[in-house]
Structure 1
Amino acid sequence: MSEVIEVLQPRGGTATFAELRSAVSGRALRKALTDGAIRRIAKGVYAMPPAADPLAAARAQGGIVSHLSAAVLHGFSVLDLPDKPHITVPRGQHRRLSSVDCELHWADDVPSDGRLTGKLRTVLDCARTLPFAAGLTVADSALRLAAFDRSQLLIAAAELGGPGCRRARRVAAAADARAESALESALRALLIEAGIDGFEAQVVVRDGGFSARIDLGHPELLIALEADSFAHHGTRRALTRDCRRHVNLTIRGWRLLRFSWEDVMFDPGWVVDAIRQAMAGSPGHHNPRETAVASRGRRVLRQL
């Protein structure tokens, strides 16, 4: 998902030129137009191209909308929109000729009168078939929207069998209703996969008249991780607010590491390395490089 799409999605898939340019560069806008990610629908108005209707695809195939397509219809956050509708049909049924291309899945328990899989089933389907970060994003969003509670998710995941069941149980165990965005879920997934512990979602910092919530905070080391998107940080007012917030956290001892969509999605190794360096350099933690420099400095002073 490009930064342009990230701006369009919260606005229902359309935005004016002014709205886009307040959040993204002209170069990014031109590239999105050239790549076909967006199109000009009127003077100064841009939109995402229309996607195939998943409900029509389900009717054509004699199945139901499922997996990532069902997640979108349920209103859950996703890391990437599906390229084509995901449809589940009864096991043994052959693909039907249709003008709508789709991704078919087969299952034994496909209701004949259903339009799409239920919310819990949808999350489990995504969890067992998608990469960890993508599956966690859907699960976090479902919990945040109170589609079901975490205990229901854990029990349902434990009862799963077959391909992807272990992956689904891992997602269920990590799912957290406190995650407020898809990017935040993806950032937390990086920490989990890297084995980095100690960070909590939506940590609240209060001091006198100041109050702030941190996407992912390490209360012991006072390290704050922020998942920044253009949708929430792309205006002059947002920039001013974020600068003051950054200063207020810094003078209270917090170190703030801010990561963009491009950082988390396309350079995860750098993100993980930066977080580990910050943790290693925190007060009370052994930093081999700093220790070596300090040791050399003491030797020089003794020689003088």
Structure 2
Amino acid sequence: MDPVEALRELGGVAPFHELIALTTRAKVTGALADGRILKPRHDRYCLADASLIHRAVAATGGTASHLSAAQEFGWKLKHDPVRPCITLPRSARKPAGPYELHWADLSERERRRNVTSRTRTVIDCARAYDHDVALCVADSALREGIVDRDDLLLAAARSPRTGRAKAVRVAAEASHLRANPFETCLYVIARSVQGLDVVPQGEVPGVGFVDLLDRALGMVIEAESLEHHWTKAGLQRDVDRYTKAARLGLVVLRFTWTDVMFQPDDVAAAIAEVVRWRTVQAVGRHGLAA
């Protein structure tokens, strides 16, 4: 796989061991030489677009915020910002240029460092973007370990009225257990299906941890990546794992990154169909037991 495509699948930023699992060392070296990807620090690779924010901050005199701030922190995102995201003081004039602009009161520390705080960045994204985009940011923030869920819940409750409900929802659902935006977006799709109640990284005896689990319906939903399944050993692990799940009476649904990112309605429809017949089965078993 091309390193740019690999980084996009990995959330826009990745350490070497994650990147090399989807591509080759020679391709990474070539992409670095071409400037298509960057290595801003040791064991950290990102898309070249990430450097645009520094020029935008210098040109506008503003502060990197929203998805651009999340990029600065090295968080994994559903997608890169289309334009550099800049927050300006409320009194500032609108600068010319292709920017995503916001106006707010900024702290001295934020102005000095040219980037909004971590907690503020999560809440800003929650108030401004779709739920799946914002939850990817929140999950990444929690995985980093500097802010915790209580920080987000408090900040969401104190946020401006416009967008507050969205912020509270994101803070309430945020979890460090989801490994990447792929799993987060699959979770958001699954949560939209009526009658389904999934938890991330649910443990199944004899099988291990699965991406999403509904215990009541006996459903496992997996976000499948080439990273773990392109070798003979990986194939054997898959066969063993899902055979054990079937022997326990579980139904396993598996979706690719392309499915989740570009065909979410189809993914939701597939999950909903299985939920319907698993619910019928559950009712039938209950009736027989009675």
* Greater alpha carbon shift after TM alignment, 107-116 vs 257-266: 107-116
Q: Report how many aligned residue pairs link the two structures.
A: 265
| Conservation of the 8 A alpha-carbon contact between 2:143 and 2:176 | yes
Q: Which has the higher helix share?
A: 2
Q: Partner of 2:146: helix, strand, or coil?
A: coil
Shift of residue 144, structure 1, vs aligned partner: 2.5
Shift of residue 40, structure 1, vs aligned partner: 5.5
- The one-letter code matched in structure 2 to 1:50 is A
- The one-letter code matched in structure 1 to 2:183 is E
Distance 1:151 1:19 in 2: 35
Q: Partner of 1:20: helix, strand, or coil?
A: coil
Distance 2:156 2:19 in 1: 39
Query: Structure 1 residue 10 and structure 2 residue 9: aligned?
Result: no
Match of 2:104 in 1: 107
Shift of residue 3, structure 1, vs aligned partner: 6.1
Q: Partner of 2:175: helix, strand, or coil?
A: coil
| Conservation of the 8 A alpha-carbon contact between 2:6 and 2:22 | no
Question: 1:65-80 alignment to 2 at 5 Å?
Answer: 65-80=64-79
| Conservation of the 8 A alpha-carbon contact between 1:4 and 1:20 | no
Distance 1:115 1:65 in 2: 6
| Conservation of the 8 A alpha-carbon contact between 2:126 and 2:170 | yes
Match of 1:259 among 246, 255, 261: 255
| Conservation of the 8 A alpha-carbon contact between 2:196 and 2:275 | no
Distance 2:187 2:270 in 1: 14
Cα 1:136/1:157, change in 2 over 3 Å: same
| Conservation of the 8 A alpha-carbon contact between 1:78 and 1:134 | yes
Q: Partner of 2:282: helix, strand, or coil?
A: coil
Aligned-pair Cα RMSD in Å: 3.3
Shift of residue 269, structure 1, vs aligned partner: 2.0
Distance 1:265 1:117 in 2: 28
Question: 1:94-173 alignment to 2 at 5 Å?
Answer: 94-96=93-95, 101-111=98-108, 112-173=111-172
Distance 1:40 1:148 in 2: 33
Cα 1:137/1:15, change in 2 over 3 Å: closer
Match of 1:220 in 2: 216
Match of 1:86 in 2: 85
Distance 2:164 2:223 in 1: 29
Distance 1:263 1:158 in 2: 34
Match of 2:41 in 1: none
| Conservation of the 8 A alpha-carbon contact between 1:6 and 1:231 | no
Shift of residue 63, structure 1, vs aligned partner: 1.6
| Conservation of the 8 A alpha-carbon contact between 1:54 and 1:69 | yes
Cα 1:184/1:228, change in 2 over 3 Å: same
- The one-letter code matched in structure 1 to 2:103 is W
Cα 1:134/1:19, change in 2 over 3 Å: closer
| Conservation of the 8 A alpha-carbon contact between 1:154 and 1:169 | yes
Match of 1:284 in 2: 282
Q: Partner of 1:105: helix, strand, or coil?
A: strand
Unaligned 5+ segments in structure 1 are: 22-28, 30-38, 288-304
Distance 1:77 1:286 in 2: 43
Q: Partner of 1:281: helix, strand, or coil?
A: helix
Distance 1:162 1:228 in 2: 38
Q: Partner of 1:108: helix, strand, or coil?
A: coil
Q: Percent identity?
A: 33
- The one-letter code matched in structure 2 to 1:260 is T
Question: 1:200-279 alignment to 2 at 5 Å?
Answer: 200-207=199-206, 211-279=207-275
- The one-letter code matched in structure 1 to 2:217 is L
Shift of residue 110, structure 1, vs aligned partner: 4.8
Distance 2:7 2:74 in 1: 20
- The one-letter code matched in structure 2 to 1:281 is W
Query: Can you list the C-alpha shifts for 1:147-166, whole angstroms capped at 9, x where unaligned?
Result: 32212211211111143222
- The one-letter code matched in structure 1 to 2:23 is L
TM-score, L = length of structure 2: 0.78
- The one-letter code matched in structure 2 to 1:104 is L
| Conservation of the 8 A alpha-carbon contact between 2:193 and 2:271 | no
